[in-house]
Amino acid sequence: MIDQQKIIVCCPQIVTGGPELLHQLVHELRAMGRDAKIAYYPFNEEFICPEPYRKYNAPQGELKDNSDTFVVVPEADTWITKGLSKAKIGVWWLSVDNYFSARHQSRVRDIYIRYRLLISHRVPMFQMKKFIHFTQSHYAQNFLRGCNIESYPLTDYLGVEHLKQERNKLLDKKEDIVVYNPKKGQKQTEALIQAYPDINFAPIQNMTPTQVAGLLQRAKLYIDFGSHPGKDRPPREAAIAGCCVVTGRQGSSNYYEDVPIPERYKLDDRSVAYIDQFGSLVKDIFVNFEKLTIDFDYYRTQIAMEPEIFRSQIRSIFGRS
């Protein structure tokens, strides 16, 4: 159990899924009576909390190297730890892919990755055992275990604006729309768009969170190919909005613990066979949507349980004040 009096969670001042998790951690720790604060970096600049995260109780604090302080850093920014000698340190693996460009595949690749880590000032894996590690996904936990590093599961949850949706009220709104994120799996999705010009593919781009939610509420299917560096939010947001979800098999999407959907909805997008398989699957979803959407009820149940699971994990790791 972490018994340091103060907890500082280091966070880049950007608006993405990872920083939201960091704000959630501070929020929940403070709700349990712990003295937790967030510290945006670069540390020599002044920031205000990004608007999407102001719903969380996450006041700013200063990063100090004191023995009574526990510092949490994301895995991609372990350079922060090099200036700390007294504080206890936890590394939160929100992603594997954002730390490495890829898993170790050969000796040449291993040397190249170590060289990149030196340039980026990140702490190399062989020095990581001195830290406490938390993992947001089973994918990350399994990766660390392969490096002989054990970790504590520390996941996340969707905001109440997603969890309060009632799927049964959304069924009448559903249209034959396939929603995708154009910033992920571009090559794979483009191949599908070219192969199926009659399908209405709708990208999530230049939209507010409200507009994204509205699009997902209308769509029957959300697809998410390419890399899954952690337990990503968009597939969960889509499932809660009543969509069927089809993913690839890379990263966390290959783990049932991270994306608990039936195997038929996971296509190997590293093989050209996925293009034909997708055509048959999307036709079935469009025609039999009300029947097939039930296949995702277990996924939706798990998503709805995530806030309490997250709080339980925090109590186990950090305890109460």
Q: Is residue 40 part of a domain?
A: yes
Please name which of 209, 166, 135, 189 lies closest in space to residue 300, comparing C-alpha atoms. 166
Q: Same structural domain for residues 140 and 167?
A: no
**Residue 175's beta-bridge partner residues?**
219
Q: Quick check: bond before 42 cis, omega within 30?
A: yes
The C-alpha atoms of residue 60 and residue 184 are separated, in whole angstroms, by 32
Q: Is residue 275 part of a domain?
A: yes
- Residues of the chain where predicted confidence (pLDDT) is lower than 70: 101-121, 166-169, 320-321
In whole angstroms, how far apart are CA 110 and each of 103, 115, 255?
9, 9, 25
Q: Same structural domain for residues 256 and 169?
A: yes
Q: Same structural domain for residues 282 and 174?
A: yes
Average per-residue pLDDT for the chain: 90
Domain hosting 42: range is: 6-156
- pLDDT 10s digits, 228-256: 999 999 999 999 999 999 999 999 999 99
Q: Which amino acid would we find at residue 279?
A: G
In whole angstroms, how far apart are CA 98 and each of 61, 135, 297, 304?
26, 13, 31, 27
The angle subtended at Cα 232 by Cα 247 and Cα 255, nearest 5°, is 55
CA count, 13 A, side-chain hemisphere, 239: 25
Q: Same structural domain for residues 166 and 77?
A: no
Tell me how many domains the chain contains.
2
Q: Same structural domain for residues 87 and 26?
A: yes
pTM of the model: 0.89
